[in-house]
Structure formats: C-alpha cells, structure tokens
Amino acid sequence: MIDFQNVRNDLRNISDFSRVDILQRFFKTKKGEYGEGDIFLGIFVPNIRKIAKKYSNLYIEDIKELLYSKIHEERLCALLILVNQFEKGNEAKKAKVFNFYIKNVCQANNWDLVDLSAPKIVGMYLLNRKKEILYKFTESKNLWKKRVSVISTFAFIKEGEFKDTLKISKILLKDEHDLIQKAVGWMLREVGKRDFLVLENFLKKNHKDMSRTTLRYSIEKFPESKRLFWLRK
C-alpha cells in the first residue's frame, strides 16, 4: 500500500546534503529568523514536482503527515500534491482540497511554500467566489497567512481582475515584515505588467505609505525614466 512513507523514502533517495547549508541560509533558518529550525534535504524543486506527480493520488491523511513534517521538502511535496489534486479534481474535490489547505494553512510556513501553492489552490478556488477569507488573513498576526492573502490574488491578476489585489495591497502597505513588503510589491508589479495605468494610479494615491522595498518591487518593470521618477518622489 502506498502511503506517506513511500514519498518520504523517495525524497531521501534524491537528497543532496551538499546543498543543505546554502538552503538553510537562503531560507533564514537561524534562531529568530522567519524559517527558524527548518530542516532541508537539499532537493531541487523540479525533482520534488516529479515525486508529487508520482504520488498525486495520495490520501489526504498521508498528505497531512507530510505537511506536518519538520522537513521543508516534505511539506513542499505535500503542497504540490494538493495542487495536482486540485487542478485535476471535480468541484467537490476542489472544495475538499481548498478547505484542507485553509485549515492547515500555517504549515505553508516559508515563502516558497506559499508562493507555489496559494495562487493555484486558494486563488483559483476563490476566483468566482466571495473572498472574505483573504481579508481575514490580512488581519492575522501570522506572517504566512498574510502572505497567502496577497499572493493568492495572483490567480485573479492572471484573469485581469485587479480589485482585490489593490485592496489587499493597500491594507498591507504598512506591514513591517520584508516578506510582506516584497509580496505586495510583486503583486503590484504583476498588475502593472498587465495594466500600467492601474498601477500608476495606485502609486499616485498610496506611494507615501509604501516602503522602499515595496515601491522598488512594484516599479521594477517601468521604463527607466518612470522608475527614477517614482524613486525620487
């Protein structure tokens, strides 16, 4: 019988411990940092995707075992399995995956875990539904819930829907955490790539409340003259 232990074994078989130190520094795992205590196996994401695809029919109970692992790649694999199940599932399955994700959202506890899963599950599920949960997450003291709230809107942006991205971005503009500032700037940049005037109008109204990090991220794709204009404001 296939279970979470099979996934765990496959991941260990492709581990590369020569990369562990690099990853632990990159994902800020020292005491007091946002990824404190996270453990890595040193596996490249494309290889984790292959294993997630192999076990895309894994039972939800086994996915949960991986999701609550102390090992980063096991949690990522669990989330990628959920993404696969969501994308292939009928409406009932999509609802089940979404509800499971929301219930266990705090286990998506590093920026890559959020970024590779939230838009494809939370964002896609809420695309044509009420989005109160995202606004609730903006008020959370949990860093990862806040990041989910704005990164999930990437799914809306891709469909040309910017309203919630702009509203949530405005709510989070004064958040002091670097990972939220970067996330907001990234989503604003994605809006601007699709509609320059929408982003510029947002900047006119809100640039004084934006951190330098958020501003730099949001205008990264601007023409040089426009970029310098906003940096000097």
What's the distance, Cα to Cα, between the start and end of the chain in Å? Answer: 62
Write the Ramachandran bin of 148: left for phi over 0, alpha for psi from -120 to 50, otherwise beta.
alpha
Name the residue ranges covered by the structural domains of the chain: 1-108, 127-233
Q: How high does pLDDT run on average in the chain?
A: 96
Residue 201 has pLDDT above 90, yes or no: yes
- The correct answer on CATH 1.25.10.90 for the domain covering 1-108 is yes
Is residue 233's pLDDT more than 90? no
Residue 129 reports pLDDT greater than 90: yes
- Predicted pLDDT of residue 161: 97
Given a cut of 90, whether residue 4 has pLDDT beyond it is yes
Percent of the chain with pLDDT over 90: 98
The string of pLDDT tens digits covering residues 15-27 is 999 999 999 999 9
Q: Which two tokens stand for residue 174?
A: 């004064």
| Distance between CA atoms of residues 183 and 179, nearest Å | 6
Structure confidence at residue 51 as a pLDDT band (50, 70, 90): very high
Domains 1-108 and 127-233 share a fold: yes
Single pTM value for the model:
0.95
Compute the distance between CA of residue 207 and CA of residue 188 in angstroms, rounded to an integer. 12
Q: Is the confidence at residue 2, as pLDDT, over 90?
A: no
Q: Tell me which fold the domain 127-233 belongs to.
A: Leucine-rich Repeat Variant (1.25.10)
What is residue 187's predicted lDDT score, i.e. its pLDDT?
98
